[in-house]
Amino acid sequence: MALINVTNIPSDRVPFIDERTGLMSRAWYRFFFQLFNLTGSGTNPISLSDLQVGPPPLTLEEASAAIVIPDFDTTPSQNGLLADVDVLQSEINGIQSAPPPFTIDEITSIINGGYLNPPFGITLTGSPFTYQNTATYTVDVLVGGSIGGVTNLEFSRNGSTWFGTGSFYGQITLSPNDYIRITYTSAPTVTGIPR
């Protein structure tokens, strides 16, 4: 199968005449050459005069006769109006006059400021402590406590390459499967906040 050379129309920023050569620019030449090839490379039996001939002229009567307008009754009927009223009445009946009841998850979400999962405490098991966000959503981890208790706070995407956060306390955002490692001398307070 032969490859087709697809050449789009050049951008309006491409000049038609190349300023260096004074000839047609390469982009425009390729465009017209592709049109020439697509129209038969000069071997098309249709002549230029055939292309310039339009449809035969029609008189106003011939054009009017060519347009077919279907016959239908535009006056409303009693049965049609009653059917329309029935459709509208069924649509009105389908509209609930009271909002749908909330689920317990939606109520919990409203209580928690719009989030379905409330903040939770993270219990440290020893220094250094590593926490992985195993949830399917982002969790902010707040590390707080007495100054001087945390000696290192690190972040990792894979649990093996660690990056220092540059701080000992504060908020670290963990995407799903991210890790945080906390090294401490006195245990800080660590809280997870789902997003």
Domain residue spans of the chain: 1-44, 120-194
* CATH code for the part of the protein at 120-194: 2.60.120
* Whole-number pLDDT of residue 180: 93
H or E stretch covering 129 = strand 129-132
When pLDDT is averaged across residues 140-149 and rounded to a whole number, the result is 81
pLDDT band at 34 (very low <50, low <70, confident <90, very high): confident
What residue has token string 């982009």? 27
CA distance 108 to 59: 76
- Tell me the two tokens of residue 194: 């789902």
Structure-model confidence comparison of residues 192 and 43, the more confident one: 192
CB 139 within 8 A of CB 194: yes
Structure-model confidence comparison of residues 55 and 123, the more confident one: 123
For 38, list phi and psi in degrees, rounded to 5: -65, -25
* Whole-number pLDDT of residue 61: 82
What residue has token string 């307008």? 69
Structure-model confidence comparison of residues 102 and 194, the more confident one: 194
Q: What is the mean pLDDT of the chain?
A: 79
Question: 5 pLDDT exceeds 80?
Answer: no
In order, the DSSP letters of 36-49 are HHHTTTT--S--HH
What is the tens place of the pLDDT at every residue in 56-108?
677 888 877 777 776 666 666 677 777 778 888 877 777 766 666 677 766 76
What is the tens place of the pLDDT at every residue in 102-127?
777 667 666 666 666 778 888 888 88
CB 121 within 8 A of CB 153: no
CB crowding 80-108: b at 16 or more within 10 Å, else e: eeeeeeeeeeeeeeeeeeeeeeeeeeeee
125: left (phi over 0), alpha (psi -120 to 50) or beta: alpha
